[in-house]
Amino acid sequence: MRLLFALISLVFAVNAAAVIESYEFDNDIQRDRYNAFIEELRCPKCQNQNLSGSDSEIARDLRRKVHDMIMADKSDAEITQYMLDRYGDFVLYRPRFAGTTAVLWLMPAALILLGLIVWYRMGKRRGAGPAAPVELDSRERERLASLLGEEDRNA
Amino acid sequence: MQRLKLFLPLIIFVLLALVFLGVELRVKSGDYSPTAMPSALVDKPLPDFDLPTLNGERAGPGDMPAQAYLVNVWATWCPTCHYEHPFLVELQRRGIPIIGVDYKDSADAAQRWLQEKGDPYVMTLFDADGQFGLDLGVTGAPETYLVDSNGIVRFRFQGALDEKVWLKEFAPRVAALKGGAE
């Protein structure tokens, strides 16, 4: 039981290897915004880490920049745009909906739809009842008899 | 038809395997790099700046060369820049104007570097805190930008320049810019 619990908690374990930097904030809203940004922005140097999880130089610089901009009372849209202007859609873990990202957004829905269609059609076929018994012609019946006869002998 | 359906999983597997093999081959041959990132700056003007140079002057966009030029982001802490440097000197010899951006570095170390290894740069902007690097959207050093005579960024390359990269990525673009200007 204890082992099971340990295994289950492994599934829910989160990456706690966040970098520790001490930034000063005037209030909790600023701190929350900062934390939200470094979770949602992707480190441009690393293939798949957010700013909070990366120890690379560029992630450090970008965290400092996010902090600076929050302290300068920039809006969320302004901060996002600042990052987009420099690093493109790559930095957003939640990409915008655009021509280039349409596949990304629509593919899951399309696949679910496809699955539903296949499921529906399979269900319909099953609902149509068993296929009519196949009539064997004389040659097939002969072959069947000989096959069955062989089996009897083998047994 | 029914037969074909049985083989559907195998067919999908083979198709996927072919796709992945193709990508792998392109990675091996250097045609495609999974870490390369499109620059958000391409076809946009070089960001505004006002920076000291390693010679102690100040420079802005107005001080950039009149013809097409390269902007090379480097630093003495960057091992790949050591490898790249001789080729930059060679490019200067071929008459390619290069603007250096000494990125998050110490000015003393950078000056020593240029004295010892040769200085291929028209001028070297000293970007101590990396702000200009951020504005360029660099992810590290070295990175090289091709800027046309109107100050528009045309191409960005991440990693070391050498003869092979030059011939493949830069030479055709530089030739196209020259052709367009005449």
Is B130 within 8 Å of A45 when comparing Cβ atoms? no
What interface predicted TM-score (ipTM) does this complex get? 0.76
DSSP A8-68: HHHHT-------------SSHHHHHHHHHHHHHBBPSSSSS-BGGG--SHHHHHHHHHHHH
What pLDDT, on the 0 to 100 scale, is given for residue B182? 47
What pLDDT, on the 0 to 100 scale, is given for residue A63? 92
Closest Cα in chain A, distance from residue B2 (Å): 14
pLDDT band at A75 (very low <50, low <70, confident <90, very high): very high
Q: What is the mean pLDDT of residues A86-111?
A: 87
Closest Cα in chain A, distance from residue B93 (Å): 32
What pLDDT, on the 0 to 100 scale, is given for residue A12? 65
Q: Distance of alpha carbon A23 from its chain centroid, rounded?
A: 32
In 10 A of CB B87, how many CB atoms? 17
Mean pLDDT of chain A: 83
Mutate to test the interface with B, among A45, A92, A122, A125 (most CBs of B within 10 A): A45
What pLDDT, on the 0 to 100 scale, is given for residue A80? 93
- Chain A from 9 to 38: CB within 8 A of any B CB: none
Nearest to B130 by CA among B92, B75, B176: B75
Q: What is the pTM of this model?
A: 0.73
Is A88 within 8 Å of B40 when comparing Cβ atoms? yes
Closest Cα in chain B, distance from residue A152 (Å): 30
Q: Please report, in tens digits, the pLDDT of each residue of chain B (182 residues total).
A: 678 888 999 999 999 999 999 999 988 887 777 777 778 888 999 999 999 999 888 998 889 999 999 999 999 999 999 999 999 999 999 999 999 999 999 999 999 999 999 999 999 999 998 899 999 989 888 999 999 999 999 999 988 999 999 998 899 999 998 876 54
Q: What is the mean pLDDT of residues A54-70?
A: 90
Is A45 within 8 Å of B140 when comparing Cβ atoms? yes
What pLDDT, on the 0 to 100 scale, is given for residue A7? 67
Is A86 within 8 Å of B134 when comparing Cβ atoms? yes
**Closest Cα in chain A to B158:** A45
Assess A69–B contact: CB distance below 8 Å, yes or no: no
DSSP B58-123: EE-GGGS-SS-EEEEEE-TT-HHHHHHHHHHHHHHHTT--EEEEEES--HHHHHHHHHHH----SE
CA distance A71 to A112: 44
Q: Is the pLDDT of residue A4 over 80?
A: no
Higher pLDDT, A112 or A126: A112
